[in-house]
Structure 1
Amino acid sequence: MATHEPSFLVITGGPGSGKTTLIEHLAGRGYAHVPEAGRGIIQAQTAIDGPALPWRDRALFAEMMLGWELRSHAMAHRLAGPVLFDRGVPDVVGYLRLEGLPVPDHVMRAAGQVRYARQVFIAPPWPAIYRQDAERRQDGETARRTCEAMIQVYGELGYELIELPRSTVADRAAFIGAVIGPPG
């Protein structure tokens, strides 16, 4: 297994748990960040009526997410740390498992080799803020099961999970800042 990348911090969890809003808030405070693969792929594929949508071809969608995450990780080496990731390579494993699809060997190799900081932030399911939209079609139960899948995968891969409080964006940002320190 590869060495952890201490300045690469993942925020993961189920859809609609406030991850992206939190990362955008932290970016406004000067933290480097990389966007979520899933939403970006859905937006791009919808714009071109492409096949790599989770409601058309889940395996192809997962492959595209893997490619996005690998590129994001490589590009993040150019950024001053700490760098916040809106999900990471292990999320692809969690997605495939959640969907009952096989996890190809190359995806598991990527999850073992492409490493992030040992501590990973998990945004727990939060029904009070959960909303469906054009890209987020999952229901609340699927959001909960997604979070559980991420907890399992990251734990199996040797990460230490830190649960984010269900609180305001500012409180969550302060919580993360206390753990990771100021932006680079």
Structure 2
Amino acid sequence: MGEQRFPPNRFFVITGGPGTGKTTLLDALRAKQFPCIPEVAREIIREQVACGGDALPWQNKAAYTQLMLKTSVESYLQTMDEYTPGSVVFFDRGIPDTLCYAAMIGLEIPDEPELASRYRYHRRVFILPPWPEIYHTDAERKQTWEEAVFTYEMMKKTYSKYGYQLIDVPLVPVVERVKFLERHIREEHT
């Protein structure tokens, strides 16, 4: 796997459990011309369903996790190539999300510490807490509310384990969430 060419101090991760408004927030950031790197999980699910593959979270979790990890690293490296060191870039989930998922399903990733230290993001990670009023399932999101809350808690533990500072994004309308992120980014780089 590739070497890091510059510290991605402006690679911001937006994470959390499923159904927390992450996609809506990222869409609003894109509308403000912020580069946003899409989550790999949903694309993998779509591709696997379309081709009849079994690398799916409800079928072959190990294959799904390995594919997610491989694709996440490729996405990270591609972003390193495409954006200048000063660019603010938002990632819809980061590599630690995949490491967290692996831990949640009991799958050991032998080079986990190396992956977590090699592919770094900004030290502050934005995490969206569970929000019952907006939570729903769909064809690709099958987790129960309890699983969503558990995922949020595990994400907090995983990112903290690797030295990230978690910033809870408030449960407010998306316009206010965008302002919250922009304020934190300005404070960080002024």
Question: Is the TM value for this pair above 0.5?
Answer: yes
- Structure 2, gaps ≥5 residues long: none
Match of 2:24 in 1: 21
Match of 2:8 in 1: 5
Q: Given the two structures, how large is their TM-score scaled by the length of structure 2? A: 0.90
Deviation at 1:64, TM superposition (A): 0.9
Match of 2:96 in 1: 90
> What CA distance in whole angstroms lies between the structure 2 residues aligned with 1:50 and 1:35?
21
Match of 1:156 in 2: 161
Q: Given the two structures, how large is their TM-score scaled by the length of structure 1? A: 0.93
Matching residue's letter, 1:94: C
1:32 aligns with 2:65: no
1:132 aligns with 2:128: no
SS at match of 1:105: coil
CA RMSD after TM alignment = 1.4
SS at match of 1:122: strand
- Structure 1, gaps ≥5 residues long: none
Q: Are the counterparts in 1 of residues 73 and 95 from structure 2 also a CA contact under 8 Å?
A: yes
Among 55, 74, 78, the alignment partner of 2:77 is 74
Matching residue's letter, 1:85: F
Q: Deviations over 1:17-74 (max 9, x none)?
A: 1111101110110000110111111111111111110011111111111111101111
Deviation at 1:107, TM superposition (A): 3.2
Q: Are the counterparts in 2 of residues 124 and 163 from structure 1 also a CA contact under 8 Å?
A: yes
Match of 2:181 in 1: 176
Matching residue's letter, 2:15: T
